[in-house]
Each structure stands twice: as C-alpha cells, then as structure tokens.
Structure 1
Amino acid sequence: MIRKYLIAGLFTLLPLVVTVWILKAIFTTLVGIFRVPLTWLAHGTQMSDPPLWALGLFSGLATLLLLLLVGALVGNFVGRQLVRWLDELMRYVPVVKTIYGSTRQLLGAIQSGRGGSFKEVVLVEWPHPGSFTLGFVARHDCSWAVPGGETMVAVYVPTAPNPTSGYVVMVEAAKVRPVDLSADQALTWAVSGGVIAPTGKAEP
C-alpha cells in the first residue's frame, strides 16, 4: 500500500517538478545575463544592489523588449542588411560557424515551411524490421547523400523522455506511413515514454 502511494505521488508531482526546474533554469540564465550591468548601474547611482526579484523582473522585461526590437529591426532594409553582415561574420569564426550555421538553417526551415519542417508525423520501422516508432519528416529528397535518393525522406526519430535528442534516418518514402497526428500529440507520446496514447489512426 505504501509503495502504491509513493508511486502515485511521484507521478503526480513529477510533471510539476520538471516544469519548475525548467522555469528556474530560464530565470537563472536571465538573471545571470543582466546581473552585472544592473549592479554596475546601481553602484553608479549610489543605490544598493538590486534584489533577486527585481533582477528577474527586469531581465524578463528586457528580454521581451530585445525580441521586439530585433523583430522590428529585421522588418526594414537596414535591419536585414545588418543581419546579413552578422551571418557573414559568424560564418568566418571557427567552431562557432558550424553551430550558428546549422541552427540558422534549422530555424529558417521551420519558419518558412521548407521541406518537412517536422510538421509531418509518420510511422517508420525503427530500430530494426518489425519494430515501429513515430518520427517527423525533416526533408524530402535525399539524393545529396544517397545515389537515387530522390525517393527517400529524412525522418527524425525523437528519444524519450527528451525529444530534443534523437536520430535522423533516411528511409524510402514507400516505407514511411503517414499518421493522422499533430506534432504536439507525437511529442507528448515521446515525452511520456509511450504511456500517453494520442488520438488518431495511421493511414492504410
């Protein structure tokens, strides 16, 4: 009976604990970014060091303001030119250019809707014949990697419970079965370790 209650309590509190942990990590990161300039400003105006709640509040507001300014900036010619110069500069920095370039391409694909953009949920045999899992179509046409790969698709297979890590496999399009599920439903299934079954049926 005690073991049953412990397990029930664990599974009840675990989502809350994970959510609080993620929010705390974001809060700590924002505070760390703005702590130095805010402390320097406080000392320059003969004020005491700002409390933690003030650092968090200002950090959140400053981040939102920065995002709004950058979004407005890239909406005009001068802003787009500055972004192009930044792209060129980052591509000349060793190590950084690889991380920046791949991240930029991924976000651009998702934003513009090119390729699969992880919006198509499919059923694919993985990791061996006879075993199936859900994946996301990353792009169509793998001829750049495999001769005759025009009929192949790149499928991203997320791992549980962290779907941000996973595997990318190239599969013949005929062996990939579309599934009538949204990306959110498929991600929920992966995060839950297959416990939460999404609604929807695989197409024949």
Structure 2
Amino acid sequence: MSTWKRDFGSGLIVLVPLIVLLLVIGWIYRHIASIPLISTLEPDWLFEPILPLYRVVIALVVFTTLVLAVGYFMRTTLGRIVEARIDDSINHIPALRVVYNASKLAVETALSGTEDLQNPVHLETWEGIRMTAFKTGKKTRDGKLVLFMPTAPNITSGYVIEVEPERVTDTGESVEEAMTRILSAGFAESTHQVSVDGEPGDAPSGDGVDVPTDADPVGGDRDESTDHGDASDSPPPGGRGDPDAGA
C-alpha cells in the first residue's frame, strides 16, 4: 500500500469518530435547546452576546438532571422491568436493534471503569493462530477467564469466551491501539506490526550481506546435476581427458 493511501486511511480513522461525536453532541443540544420551556428562559438582563452560552448551560443542566432521574428510576424494581420491556421491544425491530445495542454496548464499556477492560490480550485459538480479545474482569467458578473477542471491523458483535489463564498472553498494546487495529481491519499503522512488503528501503537487510537467490541452503541437499555436472563432460579417473591415457 502506497504512502498516501496509508495517510488517508489514518486520517479517516482519526477524523470520522470526531465528526460523528460532534454531530451527536450538536443533535442533542439542538433538541434540548428547542424545548419550549428552555427557549423561553431568556432573562431581559442578559446581554445578547452571552445568550448562546446561557442556552448551553441550561441545556446541560436539564440533560444532567434527566440522566440522574432516569438512573435513579432504573435502580428500582419497576425501572428494571421497564428497561427489560424496552430492550425486548427494540430487539424485535431489525434495523433499529443494531444501533440500539451498539450504543448501549459502547456506553457500558466506557462507563465500566475496570482496569481489566483496558488490557487487550492474545488468545491462541488454533496452533500458530492468535486473535485479539479483551478481559472483562470476570472469572468462572472453575477459574477460567471470561474474555470478549470482538469481530472486525464491527466491534459491536463478537464472542464471549471462557479460557484457561495460561492460554492468554498480553499484547503489550494500549486499548486504543488494539481497538484501532480491529476497527481498521488490521490496516491501521501500529508500532506492534510491520508491513509485509513494505516501502523500498523499509525492509531490514539483516547483516548487510547480499545472498543470491540460487544459493544452496545451509545443510540442505545439493543438486547432483549442478555439483557434479554431466558424466560425459567429466574426465575419466585415469587421465585428463585423453581416452588412451589409461592404456
């Protein structure tokens, strides 16, 4: 892959999430600020330049109060029943359930607050093949680790795996690096991986000695046709090519 394609891909990975985040924040603000009660709360003593800031503060206060009220309600038995009914209803809608579950998973992951979620690991699923997973901070009763292995590039789906601790190794990456690699389907730049073909001059040259491609492998079998030649071209054991030398 050429340099400009890699740079373009890296730029998309950085900018697209930021643009989506700004669009979501703007959408939430516009809808909260358009509530009739908030739109009419404009005291006459406020200067015109600070009116936008005043609307932002009021919108944040209303949103925070709403979140706290809903959170408190969900702690009750009735709240848990309502949440289960909402989840069940939305999961019957084919397209909407994907967006709903993805958003819910993202919020739950961001607010979990456990250190183990910030620890990507490698799991050898088959001999010589390893996959990236994330610790959930949970264990089974028999001592197995519970991991979440996301699919690429859609991390909202994946597998919950119970595995022996000795089969898990740390990747040495941060969660951001591991997530970026998964979201980009492995094409993102990373300090933990190198290009297979690479750019000219990028590939390591070993000790600097050029080895011809047709050189014999060390300790390998040699081709008799190359080493000894044709028997008709070799001098006989008794002389230097004269057929009468042995007479």
Q: Shared fold (TM-score greater than 0.5)?
A: yes
1:11 maps to a residue whose letter is G
Partner residue of 2:170 out of 178, 185, 192: 178
User: Against the structure 1 CA distance between its residues 60 and 121, is the aligned structure 2 distance closer, same or farther, given a 3 Å change threshold?
Assistant: farther
More RCO (CA 8 Å, sep 6+): 2
Sequence identity percentage: 22
Superposed counterparts of 1:36-55, under 5 Å:
36-37=35-36, 41=40, 54=52
- The 8 Å contact of residues 122 and 134 in structure 1, kept in 2 or not, is answered as yes
Q: From the superposition, tell whether residues 25 and 37 of structure 1 become closer, same or farther in structure 2 (CA, over 3 Å).
A: same
Q: What are the residue-to-residue correspondences of 1:33-182 with 2, within 5 Å?
A: 33-37=32-36, 41=40, 54=52, 60-62=56-58, 64-65=60-61, 86-88=74-76, 89-93=78-82, 94-96=84-86, 106=108, 110-111=112-113, 113=114, 117-126=116-125, 130-143=128-141, 150-182=142-174
**Structure-2 residue corresponding to 1:49:** none
Q: Tell me by how many angstroms 1:39 deviates.
A: 6.8
Question: Aligned with 1:197: secondary structure?
Answer: coil
2:20 is matched by which residue type in structure 1?
Answer: W
Gaps of 5+ in 2: 44-50, 89-99, 194-247
Q: Distance in 2 between matches of 1:39 and 1:66?
A: 9
Partner of 1:191: 183
- Distance in 2 separating the partners of 1:188 and 1:63: 33
TM-score by length of 2: 0.49
Aligned equivalents of 2:55 and 2:19: distance in 1?
18
Flag the structure with larger Rg. Answer: 2
Distance 1:22 1:159, change over 3 A: farther
Q: Give the secondary-structure state (helix, strand or coil) at the position aligned to 1:135.
A: strand
**CA RMSD across the alignment:** 4.4
Aligned partners of 2:38 and 2:55 also within 8 Å = no
Q: Give the aligned partner of residue 20 of structure 1.
A: 19
Contact 1:90 1:97 in 2 (8 A): no
| Higher-helix-fraction structure | 1
* Amino acid paired to 1:174: E
Normalization by structure 1: what TM-score?
Answer: 0.57
The aligned length equals 166
Matches of 1:109 and 1:17, distance apart in 2:
22
Q: 1:141 to 1:109 in 2, by over 3 A?
A: farther
